[in-house]
Amino acid sequence: MLKPNINYAQLKDSYLFYNIAQKTEAYQQKHPTENFLKLGIGDVSLPLCSAVITALHKAVDDQSEKDSFHGYMPECGAPFLREAIAGHYKKRNISLDSDEIFVSSGASDELGDILDLFDKSNSALVIEPAYPAYVDANIMAGRRIIHYTSEFGNFTPDPDENVQADIIYICSPNNPTGAVYTREGLKKWVDYANRLGSVIIFDAAYEAFIEDGDIPHSIFEIDGARSCAVEICSLSKTAGFTGTRLGYTVIPDGLERMGMSLNKMWVRNRTTKTNGVSYIIQRGAEAVFTDEGQRQIRQNIEVYKKNAAVLMNALDEAGVSYCGGKNAPYIWLKCPDGMSSWEFFDYLLENIQVIGTPGVGFSEKSDGYFRFTTFGDAEDTAVAAERLVKLLKK
Ligand code: PLP
C-alpha cells in the first residue's frame, strides 16, 4: 500500500483565516445590515497600474500573430524580464548577472519549492512570529524547526552563537510585525551564516515599503551575502500582482555547499519541474520596472502608506502599543486590557465591525497580539480608525 508523507501529520491545523471567516459570517447573519471594515487579510485593494495593463494588453495581442507568438517560455525566466530585474538591483548598486535571477509565479510557491535544494537533515531557524509558510513547508519535508522567538520591542534579534542552524529565514520588512533589520543587524546574520556554512533565505516581499534611506532593501547590500544567501521577492504587494502572480529569486553564482552550486542546482530543478511563467504575465511584470511603472506603483504604495499613518494616529490617540507601519504595510499591536488575540478579535467585530488578524495565528507565543494590514480601502480604513479611537480611548 502507498505510504503517504507522514510528516503532514505533524502540521498544526491552521484555523486562522477559516475562523475569521466563520466568525464574520455568523455575525453577519445576525446583523445583515452592518458593513465590515476589513483590516485583516494581506491582499491589496488597488488594481494593477496602467503601465502594467497596457503591457498585458500588448502581450495578449502578441500572442495572436504568428510572428510575435510565444510558446513555452524559458524555465528560469524570459531574458527581457531577468534583465529588467537586474537593472532594478543595479539602481541600488547591486550587480547581478541576469543568470542569477529566476522568475517565479510568486514568493509563496518559491518558498516551498526552494527547499528541494536542501537535505532533509538540515534544521530550519524561523524568527517568530512569522509568515506561517516557513514552518509548514519545512515540517512537510520532515525538517527540525528551531523556533527563534522575538519579543515586542525587539523583533529583529541577533543570532545566538549557541544555536546551530542550517537554513535561516529572515523576513524584512517583516510580516506580521512590520519590523525591519538594519544593515548592522543583517551583517551579524550574514557573518553567522558564513561561519557555520548555513544558508539565509531572505524574504524581501515588502522591500518596496521601506521609507528610511539607511534600511537595506536587499540582503545583497550586505558584504558577504553572496556566499550565504538566497533572496525571494514578489510583485504581489509591490505592484498588486496577488492575483496576477509573479515573483523572482536571486541565487548568486558562487553560492556553493559541499562543492555544489545552488544556482546550477536550481536551474536543474526549474528545467525539470516547471515550464516557465506565462509570456503575458512576464511582459506585465517587465512594465513594473520601467520608470513610468515605478512612478505608478509608488502612487499605489503611497495610498497604503496613508492608511498606515491614519491607523497609527488612531492607535496613538487610543494609547495602544504597536510597532510597524512605517517601513512595512503591517501594524502589530498589543491587545488592550490583557485580552487574548481572539478576545480582541471578537471585541472589535462585535463593537465596531472592524476585522483584523489574531496574532496567535503567527506563533503560539503571540497570543495577546493582533495585526492590522494597511492594504484596505482608504475610506474603510479612515472609518475603522475613527471607530477604534472611540472604542479604545480611555
Ligand atoms: N512572503 C511573505 C512574508 C508574505 O507575507 C507573502 C504574502 O502574504 C508572501 C511571501 C507570498 O507572496 P506571493 O503572493 O508572491 O506568493
- Domain CATH code at residue 93: 3.40.640.10
Domain that residue 81 falls in: 50-289
What pLDDT was estimated at residue 138?
97
Q: Look at residues 272, 289, 306 and tell me which one is the last residue of a structural domain.
A: 289
7 found inside a domain: no
Is residue 242 in contact with ligand 1, taking CB distance under 6 Å? yes
3-class SS at 322?
A: strand
336 found inside a domain: yes
Distance 42 CA to ligand 1 centre (A): 9
Same domain assignment for residues 340 and 246:
no
Is residue 304 in contact with ligand 1, taking CB distance under 6 Å? no
What pLDDT was estimated at residue 40?
84
Is residue 175 in contact with ligand 1, taking CB distance under 6 Å? yes
Same domain assignment for residues 129 and 190:
yes
Which residue matches cell numbers 523556533? 147
Distance 48 CA to ligand 1 centre (A): 17
CB 333 within 8 A of CB 369: yes
> Burial code of 14-33, b = ≥16 C-beta within 10 A, e = fewer?
eebeeebeebbeebeeeeee
Same domain assignment for residues 165 and 261:
yes
Partner residues linked to 37 by β-bridges: 354
Please report, to the nearest 10 degrees, the dihedral formed by the alpha carbons of residues 267, 235, 95, 217 taken in order.
-130
Nearest to 238 by CA among 211, 207, 284: 207
210 found inside a domain: yes
Is residue 192 in contact with ligand 1, taking CB distance under 6 Å? no
Give the DSSP letter of residue 109.
H
What pLDDT was estimated at residue 2?
96
Whole-number Å distance between alpha carbons of 87 and 289: 8
Report the atom number in ligand 1 closest to the C-alpha of 111. Answer: 10
Same domain assignment for residues 312 and 363:
yes
Q: Whose CA is nearest to atom 12 of ligand 1?
A: 107
5 found inside a domain: no
Residue 125 carries which side chain, given as an amino acid letter? L
Distance 248 CA to ligand 1 centre (A): 12
Is residue 362 in contact with ligand 1, taking CB distance under 6 Å? no
Same domain assignment for residues 284 and 337:
no
CATH of the domain at 384: 3.90.1150.10
69 found inside a domain: yes
Is residue 232 in contact with ligand 1, taking CB distance under 6 Å? no
Same domain assignment for residues 299 and 276:
no
Is residue 37 in contact with ligand 1, taking CB distance under 6 Å? no
Nearest to 374 by CA among 296, 323, 299, 303: 303
8 found inside a domain: no
Same domain assignment for residues 195 and 90:
yes
3-class SS at 366?
A: helix
Is residue 173 in contact with ligand 1, taking CB distance under 6 Å? no
Is residue 360 in contact with ligand 1, taking CB distance under 6 Å? no
Whole-number Å distance between alpha carbons of 381 and 37: 7
Distance 114 CA to ligand 1 centre (A): 14
354 found inside a domain: yes
Q: Look at residues 235, 265, 289 and tell me which one is the last residue of a structural domain.
A: 289
Same domain assignment for residues 22 and 119:
no
What pLDDT was estimated at residue 13?
76
Same domain assignment for residues 187 and 310:
no
Q: What is the mean pLDDT of each run of 10 residues along the chain (394 residues)?
A: 95 82 90 87 92 98 98 98 98 97 96 96 97 94 95 92 97 98 98 98 98 97 98 98 98 97 98 97 98 98 97 97 96 96 96 95 94 96 97 90
Which set of grid coordinates corresponds to residue 196?
A: 557555520
Same domain assignment for residues 357 and 235:
no
Same domain assignment for residues 279 and 362:
no
Nearest to 185 by CA among 171, 205, 175, 199: 171
Q: Where are the alpha helices (DSSP H) in 319-375?
A: 341-352
Q: Look at residues 257, 289, 321 and tell me which one is the last residue of a structural domain.
A: 289
364 found inside a domain: yes
Same domain assignment for residues 379 and 298:
yes
Domain count of the chain? 2
Report the atom number in ligand 1 closest to the C-alpha of 171. Answer: 3
